[in-house]
Structure 1
Amino acid sequence: MGSLPIPDSQFAHLDQFPMDEAFMIMRDFALDTHPGKVSLGAGVYRDNDAKPWVLPSVRKAEQLVVQDPNIDHEYQPMSGHPPFVPLAQELTFGPLMASLSNRIVTCQTISGTGANHFAAVFLSQVLSAKRVWISNPTWGNHHLLWDISAPQVKQQLYSYYNAKTCSLDFDGMIQTLDTEAQPGDIILLHACAHNPTGIDPTPEQWKIIADVCERKRLFPFFDSAYQGFASGDLDQDAYAIRLFAERGFELAVAQSFSKNFGLYGQRVGALHIVVSRSEVAAPTQSHLTKLVRGEFSTAPVHGARIVTQILSDSSLRKQWYADLQVMSSRLKDMRRALYDELRRLGTPGSWEHIVDQIGMFSYTGLNAKQVARLRDEQHIYMMASGRASIAGLNTSNVAAVAAAIDAIVRAEQQA
């Protein structure tokens, strides 16, 4: 019996999408065999030996979780691990919980990415929003998440970065929103440690942004991926969210525990919706729960148990505060070390922006051609935009990275 001819595939019309740049850099770095290679691409914390760092508080908490004889592997409620949810709320809203507790609706998500996805789906459906305003630039995944989750919502860009000064284009941001934003639009705001620029508005600028949102009747949606990790101060990093909440805004917050707990692979997150009246909280919760049921039914629990163990134990919570200081302080030290080395070398240009920025990332001001030469000639990897992960720097490589940047910048000037 002869074999049937193989028909044309019904998937033959598909184009191959390019690999995500961040993961492509991680792959290329792993394949590079050069002993002096440096990764400034991956958005993950590394210690001074360029190794993954399990927070001491997390290690202790995990031991307690796995040794608990009462732990089981049953389904969790669709809203999330019950003791985790109020702790996640308290971390975000702090002293406002007394007045907001009956107006915050929360569901546990698959980390911050899942929280962003849920927010895009939920807000686009419930608010019937036609447009979402996103900073230019932003975390690359924001655009993909809205493309997939709410393709009917048009993505608009508000100015954020001034390439000439490597600083916040605050006037451009306000002007864009004032002249072009429409009532009912969603605005996506980075709560702290803006990714990729590392540039945040000042408290006074946040007040003006809130004024614009109130005047234009925009719906604020905060992406909070770095609370405590950015400055080492949980309250400082939650300032913008709490400012808007205190002023009476209805708002949404996508919360991630990947960076500040180092739980990258556990995918722990939450989506919070603040509503204006307590009586609408229950129906809002029901809509979120319906989304959860339709996508994954219940969130994974191990990472949430670790977070719960830390936040509910005063000793572990104190240790976690110290761990946040270790990470945030090392990042600040590496910013200063890179800046000092570039100054010592007399590298052409102004580099103050490196120490003025905050958090994991620095928008170095290097262009795509310079970044490519750093990779090809010096085995130093970063995003084509010039975004560098400061966590990839350490006392052993910062001088070499500065020297490489100096050489590339000088070579381009002489060309």
Structure 2
Amino acid sequence: MTRTLNSAPKGNSNIVVLHGCAHNPTGVDPTDDEWKEMAKIMKSNDLFPFFDCAYQGFATGYLSQDNFAVRYFVEQGIQLVIAQSFAKNLGLYGERAGAFHLVASPGPGASSTVDRVASQLSILQRSEISSPPIYGAQIASIILNDPRPFIEWEADLLTICGLIKKMRKCLKEELDRLQTPGTWGHIVNQIGMLSFTGLSPAQVLELREKCLCIWLKLEGSVLRA
């Protein structure tokens, strides 16, 4: 990854999409030191970070830890944008609730940059969405701005994150118990809801076919019943 970043043409017209935490689809996140190394490369090569933040709280269970990368890039004075979704961590699927953030580079032109970007976003929003549904945004606003539901939300994130970790642990233990060929430590080393299995395309196709046959048999049994 660092080789790819170093070989990218310099200039902030080159946008690099980064997952803030709980990477989709691998479940493999950079360490804090690796994030720092990427920030150094991107700053020196004037690359533009675009953070996709869809799973905050699902990696460690803590909002403040899961946003380390974004905070560090901002601290380094790197101009960036963040697309933040509340579909997963606030359970607002179907409500299209989230936020778009621009953090301008510090300097005398920062206010002008923010104004110009806000103007363009207003035009895009008007032409593409016009009047979006407000219910999800209102729910998110209440939780984010009222200390009581915010504390409850943080506790809920810890609960779901703990459940994900427990499921990963149980899966690995069962694979080990069955003496399944291969090594399965990556299941517990990864984080979040998604996982890179390491299965080959042929193995995935075989699983798909077998699972489909089992599902069809079960479906047939239910229909006959």
TM over 0.5: yes
Q: Deviations over 1:250-298 (max 9, x none)?
A: 1010100011011111111211111121233222211110111111123
For the residue of structure 2 that corresponds to 1:264, the secondary structure is: coil
State the structure with more CA Rg.
Answer: 1
Q: 1:288 matched to which residue of 2?
A: 121
TM-score, structure 2 length as denominator?
Answer: 0.88
Does structure 1 residue 198 correspond to structure 2 residue 31? no
For the residue of structure 2 that corresponds to 1:220, the secondary structure is: strand
Matches within 5 A, 1:231-250: 231-250=60-79
Q: 2:164 matched to which residue of 1?
A: 331
- Cα RMSD for the two superposed structures: 1.6
State which of 88, 91, 94 in structure 2 corresponds to 1:259: 88
Q: Which amino acid aligns with 1:224?
A: C
Q: Which 5+ residue runs of structure 1 have no aligned equivalent?
A: 1-172, 382-415
Does structure 1 residue 174 correspond to structure 2 residue 174? no
Q: Which amino acid aligns with 1:179?
A: S
Q: Which amino acid aligns with 1:263?
A: L
Q: Quick check: 1:186–1:219 contact (8 Å CA) kept in 2?
A: yes
Matches within 5 A, 1:352-371: 352-371=185-204
Q: 1:183 matched to which residue of 2?
A: 11
Matches within 5 A, 1:100-119: none
Q: Which amino acid aligns with 1:341?
A: E
Matches within 5 A, 1:120-139: none
Q: Quick check: 1:374–1:380 contact (8 Å CA) kept in 2?
A: no
Q: 2:45 matched to which residue of 1?
A: 216
Q: Distance in 1 between matches of 2:8 and 2:51?
A: 20
Q: Which amino acid aligns with 1:177?
A: L
TM-score, structure 1 length as denominator?
Answer: 0.49
Q: 2:97 matched to which residue of 1?
A: 268
Q: Distance in 1 between matches of 2:113 and 2:209?
A: 56
Structure with the greater relative contact order (CA < 8 A, sep ≥ 6): 1 or 2? Answer: 1
Q: Distance in 2 between matches of 1:297 and 1:236?
A: 35
Q: Distance in 2 between matches of 1:312 and 1:175?
A: 42
Q: Call closer, same or farther: CA 1:295–1:380 in 2, change over 3 Å.
A: farther
Q: Which amino acid aligns with 1:366?
A: L
Does structure 1 residue 304 correspond to structure 2 residue 137? yes
For the residue of structure 1 that corresponds to 2:6, the secondary structure is: helix
Q: Distance in 2 between matches of 1:349 and 1:373?
A: 17
Q: 2:180 matched to which residue of 1?
A: 347
- Following TM superposition, by how much is the alpha carbon of 1:380 offset from its aligned partner in structure 2, in angstroms? 9.5
Does structure 1 residue 318 correspond to structure 2 residue 126? no
